Amino acid sequence: MSGVGRCYDNARIESFFATLKKEKLYQMDTGTMTKAEVKSVVYRYIHYYNLRRIYSTNDGWPPAVYRRMYFE
Protein backbone atom coordinates (compact mmCIF):
# COMPACT_ATOMS: atom_id res chain seq x y z
CA MET A 1 0.00 0.00 0.00
CA SER A 2 2.10 2.87 1.22
CA GLY A 3 5.14 3.69 3.28
CA VAL A 4 5.35 4.39 6.98
CA GLY A 5 3.61 7.56 8.12
CA ARG A 6 1.17 7.90 5.22
CA CYS A 7 -2.17 9.13 6.49
CA TYR A 8 -4.26 7.44 3.80
CA ASP A 9 -2.89 4.05 4.80
CA ASN A 10 -5.18 3.79 7.82
CA ALA A 11 -7.85 6.38 7.09
CA ARG A 12 -10.78 4.08 7.86
CA ILE A 13 -9.62 3.14 11.34
CA GLU A 14 -8.67 6.74 12.09
CA SER A 15 -12.20 7.74 11.12
CA PHE A 16 -13.63 5.07 13.42
CA PHE A 17 -11.51 6.19 16.37
CA ALA A 18 -12.53 9.80 15.80
CA THR A 19 -16.19 8.75 15.84
CA LEU A 20 -15.65 6.64 18.97
CA LYS A 21 -14.08 9.56 20.78
CA LYS A 22 -16.70 12.11 19.71
CA GLU A 23 -19.77 9.95 20.25
CA LYS A 24 -18.75 8.09 23.39
CA LEU A 25 -15.49 8.81 25.20
CA TYR A 26 -15.61 12.62 25.26
CA GLN A 27 -19.13 12.38 26.72
CA MET A 28 -17.84 10.52 29.81
CA ASP A 29 -15.36 11.19 32.58
CA THR A 30 -12.97 8.36 31.70
CA GLY A 31 -10.28 9.72 34.04
CA THR A 32 -12.13 8.38 37.06
CA MET A 33 -13.00 5.01 35.49
CA THR A 34 -10.98 1.83 35.82
CA LYS A 35 -9.28 0.30 32.81
CA ALA A 36 -11.81 -2.56 32.80
CA GLU A 37 -14.73 -0.12 32.76
CA VAL A 38 -13.30 1.80 29.81
CA LYS A 39 -12.66 -1.47 27.95
CA SER A 40 -16.27 -2.46 28.57
CA VAL A 41 -17.55 0.88 27.26
CA VAL A 42 -15.40 0.61 24.11
CA TYR A 43 -16.46 -3.01 23.54
CA ARG A 44 -20.15 -2.12 23.84
CA TYR A 45 -19.69 0.83 21.46
CA ILE A 46 -17.98 -1.38 18.86
CA HIS A 47 -20.87 -3.84 19.14
CA TYR A 48 -23.34 -0.99 18.66
CA TYR A 49 -21.30 0.48 15.78
CA ASN A 50 -21.21 -2.81 13.87
CA LEU A 51 -24.64 -4.28 14.60
CA ARG A 52 -27.15 -1.54 15.36
CA ARG A 53 -26.03 1.86 14.12
CA ILE A 54 -27.94 3.24 11.13
CA TYR A 55 -25.77 4.41 8.24
CA SER A 56 -26.43 6.82 5.41
CA THR A 57 -24.67 4.41 3.04
CA ASN A 58 -25.42 0.69 2.62
CA ASP A 59 -29.14 1.50 2.37
CA GLY A 60 -29.14 2.31 6.09
CA TRP A 61 -27.98 -1.12 7.25
CA PRO A 62 -25.20 -1.53 9.85
CA PRO A 63 -21.94 -3.04 8.48
CA ALA A 64 -22.38 -6.55 9.92
CA VAL A 65 -25.96 -6.84 8.65
CA TYR A 66 -25.02 -5.48 5.23
CA ARG A 67 -22.14 -7.99 4.94
CA ARG A 68 -24.42 -10.85 5.91
CA MET A 69 -27.00 -9.79 3.30
CA TYR A 70 -24.27 -9.37 0.66
CA PHE A 71 -22.90 -12.87 1.11
CA GLU A 72 -26.31 -14.60 1.19
CB-CB contact of 50 with 62 (8 Å): yes
pLDDT of residue 48: 84
Q: pTM to 2 decimals?
A: 0.63
Burial of 41 (0-12, 13-18, 19+ CB in 10 A): middle
pLDDT of residue 13: 81
C-alpha atoms less than 13 angstroms from C-alpha of 24 in its C-beta half-sphere: 17
The CA distance from 53 to 24, in Å, is 13
pLDDT of residue 14: 83
Output the tens digit of pLDDT for each of the chain's 72 residues.
556 666 666 777 888 899 899 989 999 898 899 999 999 999 999 888 877 777 767 677 777 788 888 898
